[in-house]
Amino acid sequence: MIQLGWPWMLAALPLPLLVYWLAPAAKNGGESALQVPFGSDFRQAGAGQGGHANARGWKRKLLLATMVLAWLLLVLAAARPQWLGDPVALPVKGRDLMLAVDLSGSMQIRDFVRNGHAVDRLTITKEVATDFIQRRKGDRIGLILFGSQAYIQTPLTFDHATVEQLLAESAIGLAGKSTAIGDAIGLAVKHLSADGSDGAKDRVLILLTDGVNTAGTLSPTQAANLAKNAGVRIYTIGIGADSMVQQTLFGSQRVNPSADLDEKMLTTIANKTGGHFFRAKNSQQLTQIYHDIDAIEPVAHDAQFFRPVRELFIYPLVMALSLVFGMMLIRELLSNSS
């Protein structure tokens, strides 16, 4: 669509008529203090007779029409006509969010149930985390996989499909059989701090584990202090059922498969960084936890738009100048014909 940048400039359109009506008439006689170059061009042809007078009459009318049109175009150019393009959505700037997923050996314990069948912890984690990623529109998401060591599987990116794919391809034992929780937190803080200069207001780490820190060079307490100083909030999720039936040589026995889960340590990490500790004993609770995190760290929904603007004043300005030059040529013709 077309709009005027300075529409108030259109108020200048009647200015020549106001000058003509309101300006005092020039007195006859004596030397003129100010000579108007085109004044003589608009006198009525009273002296000439016949065809010669008629020819000069229509030329002067053409000159007057040219001047009027040139004035209209100049005022239009001053009003700054603009072409507005279609609205373009700007990328929504949300959070920098890192997911840290435990791939230690205990994640293969089949203490979760899906559709009446026992499922291992990692399978349920992948399904629930994938749904969570799909809801985080506007966030940059990264993926850390950790076991005996921690690895950046996906750096912070808006390409959520790649994060989902690499999460789906992760396997138990890929990063070792132990659990380096401190190193995973330290690696997440390092990347969130290094990549946090592009405008993201919030940096969040969601750490999911089913055990206790048994490996790595950085303790969970040290890592939590680093996160606090860097302004990274950590939400810790302890996963694993608290009771399951296990077949042994002595028959069926009920055991606690999450006996090694260090809930106190995970709670301390979360509280120190302004986050929260969650406990997921089944798939329904894990799903609800990710929805709770959605509520605590809401997605930025307010999209921003801009419309590209192209200035068009040059076109009426060029036309007006062309008419002025044409008007000068007509005046010259009138002078030569007289």
| DSSP assignment string, 134-195 | HH-TT-EEEEEEESSSEEEEEEEES-HHHHHHHHHT--TTTT-SS--HHHHHHHHHHHHHHT
Question: Can you give the pLDDT at residue 220?
Answer: 93
Residues 189 and 153 in one domain: yes
Domain that holds residue 49: 2-19+38-85+308-337
C-beta separation of 238 from 263 below 8 A: yes
Residues 160 and 243 in one domain: yes
Residues 164 and 286 in one domain: yes
Residues 186 and 234 in one domain: yes
Does residue 28 form part of some domain? no
Question: Can you give the pLDDT at residue 271?
Answer: 95
Question: Can you give the pLDDT at residue 42?
Answer: 45
Q: How far is 285 from 290, CA to CA, in rounded Å?
A: 9
What does the block give as tokens for 1?
């669509």
Question: Can you give the pLDDT at residue 45?
Answer: 41
Model confidence pLDDT, tens digit, residues 306-316: 677 888 888 88
What does the block give as tokens for 55?
């020819």
Maximum Cα interatomic distance, the chain, rounded to a whole number of Å: 134
Interacting residues of 94 by C-beta distance below 8 A, sequence separation 6+: 136, 137, 138, 139, 140, 200, 202, 299, 300
Residues 219 and 312 in one domain: no
Q: What's the full length of the chain, in residues?
A: 338
What does the block give as tokens for 228?
């606090």
Residues 129 and 205 in one domain: yes
Q: How far is 323 from 279, CA to CA, in rounded Å?
A: 80
Does residue 329 form part of some domain? yes
- Bridge partners of 202, per DSSP, are 95
- What are the C-alpha distances in Å from 69 to residues 12, 42, 65, 180, 324? 14, 16, 6, 80, 10
- What are the C-alpha distances in Å from 166 to residues 42, 130, 140, 283? 83, 11, 15, 21
> Model's pTM, two decimal places?
0.62
Residues 272 and 292 in one domain: yes
Terminal Cα distance for the chain, rounded: 49
Q: How far is 190 from 186, CA to CA, in rounded Å?
A: 6
Residues 279 and 324 in one domain: no
What does the block give as tokens for 221?
């307490």
- The CATH number that applies at residue 269 is 3.40.50.410
Number of domains making up the chain: 2
Residues of the chain with pLDDT under 50: 30, 32-34, 36-39, 41-49, 197-199
C-beta separation of 81 from 312 below 8 A: yes
Q: How far is 98 from 195, CA to CA, in rounded Å?
A: 11
Q: How far is 287 from 106, CA to CA, in rounded Å?
A: 20
Residues 323 and 257 in one domain: no
Which residue, among 114, 129, 170, 119, has the nearest Cα to 147 in the 3D structure?
170
Residues 81 and 100 in one domain: no
What does the block give as tokens for 97?
């969010």
Does residue 254 form part of some domain? yes
Residues 74 and 193 in one domain: no
Phi, psi of 217 (to 5 degrees): -100, -15
Does residue 155 form part of some domain? yes
Percentages helix, strand, coil for the chain, rounded to the nearest 5? 45, 20, 35
Q: How far is 52 from 182, CA to CA, in rounded Å?
A: 103
Residues 186 and 52 in one domain: no
Helix axis angle for 181-194 and 220-230, nearest 10°, is 20
Does residue 150 form part of some domain? yes
Helix axis angle for 283-296 and 121-135, nearest 10°, is 30
